[in-house]
Structure 1
Amino acid sequence: MSRSLPRVSLRPEDLAPLKVLVVDDNMNVMRLICDVLRASGVGQVEGAADGVRARDMITRWDPHIIFSDWNMPVMGGIELTRSIRRAAVTGDRRIPNPQAPVIIVTGHRSEADVEVARSAGVNEFVIKPFTPAALLSRIQLVLLKPRPFVVSADYIGPDRRRKLELSYNGPLRRSSDPTEVVDVAERAATRDTIGVELEALRALIAARRRVDAETLKMTYRVMQHTSFRARQVRDSVVARASALLMEYADAMGGHEHCEAEVMEVHFAAIAKLLVIEPGQVDEAEEVLGQLQMVVRQKIARRRAA
């Protein structure tokens, strides 16, 4: 299991030609994934509400990559994957590419669930709740680290000799996990990863032109992870800035009171902090102080309303 936020190194020219199909019966989740992918630079993104409609889209559109929910009415993600892989043997003309990468988006994370997905021919997992980088890192894996396609008597799908990776972006929880990382290269890599996640989130909110419930949940989760990773590398100003955004979200009491402009102020401040050298304490504290002033003013107005 991946225990840290994956770095996303795909270039815009890698994403622009892609056609990605998103399959989910929850329209809010489908739209959210579609918006994340479009905002991140994926050229063409379409949605389908279940596996049957997805098969129709596959026939007409021939997507390069498929994101699918596990549980859906009519035909779920695992059954959809099996039907795609079977075409490698049956020659089903309705499935132009039986080898199309399938990424399952699900809350299932047990070893038994992983084995079911592996046996069906799934390429990768994204575990809910997800972040923009979690989705993009799965695209990175299937594009930059493709696995040989296997057709045998008992299995059809990508080579299973590499374990499916669960895209987990939460805090480290094992007692053996390190409490802090102080290596300069690790701090730089962490800042780079945070920057990728931040830009994807900013693009998503800009594309949606508002902060809805799903976007706020994703933002909160990204900030939780950003704060945690920053603390791991003793990047206290980035950790504090992330905590301020969570404090603002908590104080507002819901997405309907969160302003996209205020979120952008947070994102811009964190982006500045990410390029300030660790030794430039006064400059970092000035950025943080300005952000804190904005947050305190907004919280005070909300409480007075």
Structure 2
Amino acid sequence: MKRNRMANEEITKRGVLIADHSQNMAALVAVMLRSLGRKDIREAYDANKAMTELKRRVFDVLIIDDALDGMDGVAFTRKLRASTDCQNRLVPIIMMSALPDAKRIAEARDAGVTEFLRKPFAANHLLARLTSIETNPRSFIEAEQYKGPDRRRRTVDIGENERREAGKAS
């Protein structure tokens, strides 16, 4: 049986932090990651422990539940993205949620979440998000109202129809 592994842990050279209030769910996600070839996996079960881990060492990916104890995932993401003293403020974030609606997914995106997973999900869904992070890295944007990965997923050549002043000047 051939497993779908990424060569030499390309995405998670420095590890993955799973932040979920449910120890069972965190353990399940860890099993999925191990089946994909990941080895360096840490778990945190509340917002304080997750932030402590993020300040302690560098991670390549944060997988966070929207219903994290102590602070929901969207608020946690906003706090992390604004923490200029945290070495992981630019880390790609995959948010998991059991009952997300379009509004909540938009809030997560606007807070700086990189990818989103609806629970329940399979290892191949997680692999798709990890692969997206690796193959399509997005620039980090710092603006007054937003700090996080560029929300645009593709670039479009608009030719000579540029209407913005900044676009005309170049």
- Pairwise TM-score range, normalised by the shorter structure: 0.7 to 0.9
1:139 and 2:130 matched: yes
Larger radius of gyration: 1
Whether the aligned pair in 2 keeps the contact of 1:16 and 1:41 (CA below 8 Å) is no
1:97 aligns with 2:88: yes
Question: What is the aligned partner in structure 1 of residue 118 from structure 2?
Answer: 127
Q: Is the 8 A contact 1:17 1:43 kept in 2?
A: no
Count residues in correspondence: 151
Choose the corresponding residue for 1:11, options 7, 10, 21: 7
User: Any idea what SS the aligned residue of 1:160 has?
Assistant: coil
Q: Against the structure 1 CA distance between its residues 15 and 143, is the aligned structure 2 distance closer, same or farther, given a 3 Å change threshold?
A: closer
**Aligned twin of 2:23:** 27
Residues 23 and 15 (structure 1 numbering): CA distance in 2 closer, same or farther, change over 3 Å?
A: same
Equivalent position SS for 1:153 = coil
- Give the aligned residue type for 1:101: P
Alpha-carbon shift at residue 119 of structure 1 (Å) = 1.1
Distance across 1 between alignment mates of 2:9 and 2:19:
24
Q: 1:49 Cα shift?
A: 0.2
Higher RCO (CA < 8 A, seq sep 6+):
2
1:291-302, aligned counterparts within 5 Å?
none
Q: Tell me which residue corresponds to 1:118.
A: 109
Which structure's residues are more often strand, by fraction?
Answer: 2
CA shift digits 1:147-180 (9 cap, x unpaired): 11100011110111239xxxxxxxxxxxxxxxxx
Once the 2 structures are TM-superposed, how far is the Cα of residue 17 of structure 1 from its aligned partner? 2.3
Structure 1 partner of 2:79: 83
Which is worse superposed, 31-40 or 105-114? 105-114
Deviation per residue, 1:185-206 (Å, 9 max, x gap): xxxxxxxxxxxxxxxxxxxxxx
Unmatched runs of 5 consecutive residues or more in structure 2:
155-170
2:115 counterpart letter in structure 1:
E
Identity of aligned residues (%): 30
2-side partners of 1:35 and 1:79: how far apart?
A: 27
More helix by share: 1
8 A Cα contact 2:15 2:40, kept in partner: yes
Paired position in structure 2 for 1:39: 35
Return structure 1 stretches of 4+ with deviation > 3 angstroms.
none
2: distance between equivalents of 1:13 and 1:109? 30
RMSD: 1.8
Identify the residue that residue 166 of structure 2 maps to in structure 1: none
* 1:220 matched residue in structure 2: none
TM-score (norm 2): 0.82
Match of 1:5 in 2: none
Q: CA deviation at 1:13?
A: 4.3
Secondary structure of the equivalent of 2:25? Answer: helix
Matches of 1:19 and 1:13 in 2, distance apart? Answer: 9
Report the AA paired with residue 52 of structure 2.
D
TM-score, normalised to structure 1, is 0.47
Are 2:142 and 2:148, in contact at CA under 8 Å, matched by a contact in 1?
yes
SS at 1:68's partner residue? strand
Structure 1 portions without partners, runs of 5+? 1-7, 164-305
